[in-house]
């Protein structure tokens, strides 16, 4: 399993960041799962540049620009130079802040050009009985992949985060059968966009109200390859419990 911890803007001091990194290092001693930490940009550089562990680091976002006279922007290239090897692209919170499908596609291309492994976030706002949300998922993937070559598309990881499931309890979040169906659908869409058998090798993650009480069921027989975890990843006790449930 690939476990991506998106710290968002929850961590605002070095002491807490150091504690979370220490917890992650300890977890890696007893698990074969891969852990990717996505701290705020300044903290990423502080840890990734001197990283000697199996922990990998991800940018929470990258700029749609490639550098130059762009005050305040942080490009994919500088993230890579700072030690990041992954980049979260198209997170729902960035889309809500104004990232269109076109901007997401541009950021995805920049991340790949900087040799970062992109984690492309997709997810419907609500579900309808007619299945129109499936067309929405297809469009999000297709819009992001269309400008890319076949080889570039094969590098992307998909993170399915249904907006309606975020912030819910485990009981009211997505069930394992629904998640399994969505993973099959995502792989069907990928099979139309990726060459050969690459779709079967593409990684698909899940995020949205993941708790110690449901993470094992969500991981079992659903076809997912890991999790993108938000708020729970900055609670060291909760994050440790989530990871241990998968072991």
Q: Give domain status of residue 42, yes or no.
A: yes
* Catalytic-labelled residue, pool 106, 124, 140, 161: 161
Q: Is residue 231 annotated as part of the catalytic site, yes or no?
A: no
Q: Give domain status of residue 242, yes or no.
A: no
Q: Give domain status of residue 20, yes or no.
A: yes
Please say whether the beta carbons of 243 and 3 come within 8 A. yes
Q: Is residue 124 annotated as part of the catalytic site, yes or no?
A: no
The C-alpha atoms of residue 226 and residue 209 are separated, in whole angstroms, by 14
Q: Give domain status of residue 243, yes or no.
A: no
Tens-digit pLDDT profile for residues 60-88: 999 999 999 999 999 999 999 999 999 99
Predicted local distance difference test score (pLDDT) of residue 70: 95
Q: Give domain status of residue 246, yes or no.
A: no
Split into its structural domains, the chain has a count of 1
Q: Give domain status of residue 93, yes or no.
A: yes
* Catalytic-labelled residue, pool 33, 91, 110, 245: 91
**Nearest to 25, CA basis, from 56, 68, 64, 62:** 56
Q: Residue 167 pLDDT > 80, yes or no?
A: no
At residue 93, the 3 state secondary structure works out as helix
The C-alpha atoms of residue 30 and residue 179 are separated, in whole angstroms, by 28
Q: Read off the pLDDT band of 21 (50, 70, 90).
A: very high
Please tell me the chain's helix, strand, coil percentages from 3-state DSSP, rounded to the nearest 5.
45, 15, 40
CA distances from 156 to 15, 68, 225, 228, 243 (A): 33, 26, 13, 14, 23
Q: Residue 131 pLDDT > 90, yes or no?
A: no
183 C-beta neighbours (distance < 10 Å), count: 19
Residue 52, Ramachandran bin (φ over 0: left; ψ between -120 and 50: alpha; else beta): alpha
Q: Residue 223 pLDDT > 90, yes or no?
A: yes
Q: Give domain status of residue 107, yes or no.
A: yes
Please say whether the beta carbons of 153 and 38 come within 8 A. no
Q: Give domain status of residue 247, yes or no.
A: no
More confident residue, 56 or 195: 56
CATH number of the domain enclosing 183: 3.20.20.70
Q: Read off the pLDDT band of 238 (50, 70, 90).
A: very high
Q: Give the domain extent around 60.
A: 2-236
At residue 226, the 3 state secondary structure works out as strand
Predicted local distance difference test score (pLDDT) of residue 169: 72
Q: Read off the pLDDT band of 200 (50, 70, 90).
A: confident
Alpha helices in 114-175 (DSSP H): 132-145, 150-153
Average pLDDT score over the chain: 94
Half-sphere exposure of 185 (CA within 13 A, CB side): 18
Total-model pTM:
0.96
């Amino acid at each position: 399993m690939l476990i991506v911890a998106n710290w968002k803007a929850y961590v605002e001091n070095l002491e807490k960041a150091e504690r979370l990194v220490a917890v992650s290092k300890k977890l890696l001693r007893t698990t074969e799962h891969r852990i990717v930490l996505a701290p705020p940009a300044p903290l990423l550089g502080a840890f990734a540049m001197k990283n000697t562990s199996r922990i990998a680091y991800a940018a929470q976002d990258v700029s749609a620009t490639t550098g130059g006279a762009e005050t305040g922007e942080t490009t994919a290239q500088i993230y890579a130079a700072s030690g990041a090897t992954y980049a979260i692209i198209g997170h729902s919170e960035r889309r809500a802040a104004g990232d269109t499908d076109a901007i997401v596609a541009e950021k995805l291309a920049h991340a790949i050009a900087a040799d970062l492994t992109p984690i492309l976030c997709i997810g419907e706002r609500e579900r309808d009985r007619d299945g129109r949300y499936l067309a929405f998922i297809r469009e999000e993937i297709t819009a992001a992949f269309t400008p890319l070559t076949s080889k570039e598309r094969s590098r992307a990881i998909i993170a399915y985060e249904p907006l309606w499931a975020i912030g819910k309890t485990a009981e009211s979040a997505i069930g394992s059968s629904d998640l399994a169906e969505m993973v099959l659908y995502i792989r069907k869409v990928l099979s139309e966009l990726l060459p050969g058998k690459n779709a079967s090798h593409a990684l698909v993650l899940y995020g949205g109200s993941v708790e110690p009480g449901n993470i094992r069921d969500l991981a079992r027989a659903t076809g997912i390859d890991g999790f993108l975890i938000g708020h729970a990843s900055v609670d060291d006790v909760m994050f440790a419990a989530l990871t241990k449930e998968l072991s």
